[in-house]
Chains A and B, each alone.
Chain A
Amino acid sequence: MSRSVFRIVAIPFMAVVFGVLIGALLIVSQGGSPAEAYKALLVGGLGDSDAVLRTLQKATPLIFGGLAVAFAFKAGMFNIGGQGQLLVGAVFAAGVGFGIDGLPVLIHLPAALIVGAVAGALWGGIAGTLKATTGAHEVIVTIMLNFVAGNLTDWLAANPWKDNSGSNIVARTPLVENSATIPTIGAVPVGFLLAVAVSVACWLVLERTSYGFEVRSVGHNRHAAQYSGMKVGWIMSSTMAVSGMLAGLGGAVESLGVDGRFEAGVNVGLGFEGITIALLARANPLGVIPAALLVGLMEAGAARMQYKSDVAPELIDVIQALILFFVAAPIIIRWLLRMRHDNSEQLQLGAGWGKS
């Protein structure tokens, strides 16, 4: 058991190590001190309760985005539409958040979250249904729907739902009501706890339910799934809806817990980072949590790193890209690892590779 856990974790872990090491070389090449820079990064992300809060806030939408991509991966599909699903989730959750008042928090907040989730589910479901019925590739459809979602939410924030208070000229909605705001307990945003709970729920659904069994079967071998009587088309469209729901929930949590409103342009790119997270987590819903925490930590600490050691914050993007590169090209890591392990480990890794 411990050996198999080791094998699952080895690649992402080594990818992070190599990413950080190469990042250190880059810092040196810029005349900086890696020790100082990384220390500033850690302090900026973990140093005090504000830093931890920042890290957890950054990690929360990454968990949702990562789950969205991971869930679709399990059915053998690539959801590149996390961005669009997140945006529609964010704008509709905000809409419910500011548009209704006088509701108790126990009704208002869940209602806003659910509306955001449903909006994301519908947005993702379009791509899944098109794939199941016409064979349209989900990668293309979700990319195109990202543009539609971007423009739709911009328009909503700039026109019907625009914040007209004072002299505001920004395309953004009014602040959501207090009854729709996700609270923070100490340094822990409740949205983060929700994200962790949803991760566990995703894992349980995939591993312990007959629906999850169908999803994984379709992902691993669509032909065998069909032969076994599973409805492959239904699994594809429902999986994409679940995937979109997860991304939409991430957007809702952003609007209701971090930004307090929907503002055009604020969440750009968040949806795409889900791909990084899912790959780093090797599509395991539980692995998404540490992967998102790691990336969240780096993003939360980047500002301090720049301030303390004069290293450009873009270095964080480079390190992320390197980590992703090593995760996506595990053969390099296996090759590097082989040189360090004895013979028996070599065979183990070799055999694992052949099977995966």
Chain B
Amino acid sequence: MTETLLGARKVRKEFPGVLANDDISISLQPGRILALLGENGAGKSTLVNILFGMYRPDEGHVIIKDEIVDLRGPDEAISRGIGMVHQHFQLVPPMRVVENIVLGAEPTRRGLVDLDEARTRVIALSERYGLEVDPDALVEDLPVGMQQRVEILKALYRDADVLILDEPTGVLTPQEADHLLGVLRELTETGLGIVFITHKLREVLAIADDIVVLRNGQVVGETRPSDTDESDLAEMMVGRNVMLQVEKSVSRPGDPVLEVKELEVKDDRGQIALDSLSFEVRAGEILGVAGVEGNGQRELVEAITGLRAPSVGVMKIEGEELTGESPRQITKKGVAHIPEDREKHGVVAIYSLAENTILNRYHRKPFSIRGILRRDVIRSHAQDVVDEFDVRTPSISVPASSLSGGNKQKLIVGREFSDDIKLLIAAQPTRGIDIGAIEFIHRRILEQRDKGAAVLLVSAELDEILGLSDRIAVLYDGKIMDVVDAQEANREQIGLLMAGITD
């Protein structure tokens, strides 16, 4: 009888300047689900990469089926029965499901891929585990939840006894997430072990058998769902007492600031991403846009901020036409934008913090005069932003790439909030950052609302939407399914709308 299906014993891994894993031991037993909980940078990814053979530990061992192993790469981990489902799927979109599943381990006949045999095996596999898929569908046509199923089948096809899932519910609606948790539970009944990485406390309590909490590269807690609760876990993750829910006063909305009428926007492939969308955001209120990612949120934000031209429709800010204006003119009208992808749009990684704080204002007085940058003004402005927005950094001269995600985000928020804002577009403002920074940014967004700004909050985190919004618009397939008052909204109702169901 196997005791430890997959484990780490006193694993230590150091990167230049960072001790990513310090004396970590975990053990996954057959038929159990082990949740690895921790903030970004706690060492979860490093640990998982060690377990999957991507990194070698500096000290300590990986254990597979009670045996100490020295993994030379992911290939060896796979051949020893470890399967991994990455947060970003590793699928080939224009290929069929069956081809994706067998890719790299294809059954062959006389040197050629035997697709019939592959199909038979895939069907048998999906029946055995109750994971129904259409083997001949193209992956690119499948919804995200289905693609994830293909990833899981891919691992099972390679005879995995252990599945490692990295933030698997991030891309799912609440209902899809619940469904996935059910599927995982069933999988364990065949003796499979699962390592489940997440930062969502509710899921951990719902699914895990064992919980390991990491912080700063160390195991800071081991517990079971029956012995703990959300605030307990959060405290372990962060190392101090945290407010999971920001306190907010009742909003006193004023006149409409942003008016959007009959907006139609096409995506990169020329497909209609937003279909005659109309809504308004008033001064002093937060309109939350809920929805599974990829339902038009990105196009909406890009249209309002001038990064993407709408094909039809009108956008106005305080009655002034916004449609067709350049990003710079829109910024000038008092629109601030926290971009969804902080690495791609938010910062220039090799620029110093000082340079990053002037990205959208370098051309204005007092930051430059007649085309010459004023370095002393820029530095003192940067220092103000860093101080006021609590960006933890040794100096404003270090490159932005040296900051953690949370601190980068605080830098961006600081930059965007240094002017008077009429309209704030906050897209996934707290994605992938630590709880402390989330709390901070939420408070700052509410502050802007209370100062009279109109806020459009786009988030895939339903908790964030429910916690901050005054009204909630649910976006599905480029349309607003409904706009509900946040006070009366509940998780189930919003979840159904996110799936496109309106009784």
Contacts and interface: CB of A to CB of B under 8 A. Distances in A.
A226 B346 contact: no
A208 B351 CA distance: 14
A335 B28 CA distance: 39
A210 B371 CA distance: 5
A347 B305 CA distance: 42
A226 to B, nearest CB: 7
Interface in A214-229: 214, 216-217, 220-221, 223-229
Contacts of B345: 223-224, 227
A106 interface: no
A209 B378 CA distance: 13
Contact of B344 (A213, A216, A221, A230): A221
B347 interface: yes
Given A210-B362, A351-B16, A226 B327 contact: yes
Contact of B328 (A210, A229, A350, A351): A229
B170 interface: no
A354 interface: yes
Contact of B355 (A213, A230, A355): A213
Interface in A323-356: 347, 350-351, 354-356
Contacts of A223: 341, 344-345
A221 B348 contact: yes
A216 B348 CA distance: 10
B307 interface: yes
Interface centre among B16, B328, B401 (most CB of A within 10 A): B16
Nearest to A218: B348
Interface residues of B, number: 34
Interface in B321-350: 326-328, 331, 337, 339, 341, 344-350
B16 A350 contact: yes
A224 B327 contact: no
Interface centre among B331, B345, B349, B401 (most CB of A within 10 A): B345
A211 interface: yes
Nearest to A351: B16
Query: Interface SS of chain A: helix, strand, loop or mixed?
Result: helix
Contact of A221 (B307, B331, B349): B349
Nearest to B402: A355
B360 interface: yes
Interface centre among A221, A225, A231, A354 (most CB of B within 10 A): A221
B16 A224 contact: no
Interface string B341-382: 100111111110001001110110001100111010000000
Contacts of B331: 229
Contacts of B339: 227
Contact of B359 (A211, A217, A347, A350): A217
B17 interface: yes
A221 B355 CA distance: 13
Nearest to A354: B16
B467 interface: no
B348 A347 contact: no
Interface string A215-255: 01100110111111111000000000000000000000000
Interface of A: 208-211, 213-214, 216-217, 220-221, 223-231, 347, 350-351, 354-356
Given A217-B351, A221-B344, 5 more contacts: A209-B371, A210-B372, A224-B348, A229-B360, A347-B17
Interface of B: 16-17, 305, 307, 326-328, 331, 337, 339, 341, 344-351, 355, 358-360, 362-363, 367-368, 371-373, 375, 399, 401-402
29 contacts: A209-B371, A209-B372, A210-B362, A210-B367, A210-B372, A211-B371, A213-B362, A213-B373, A216-B351, A217-B351, A217-B359, A220-B348, A221-B347, A224-B345, A224-B346, A224-B347, A224-B348, A226-B327, A227-B327, A227-B345, A227-B346, A228-B327, A228-B359, A228-B360, A229-B326, A229-B328, A354-B16, A355-B399, A356-B350
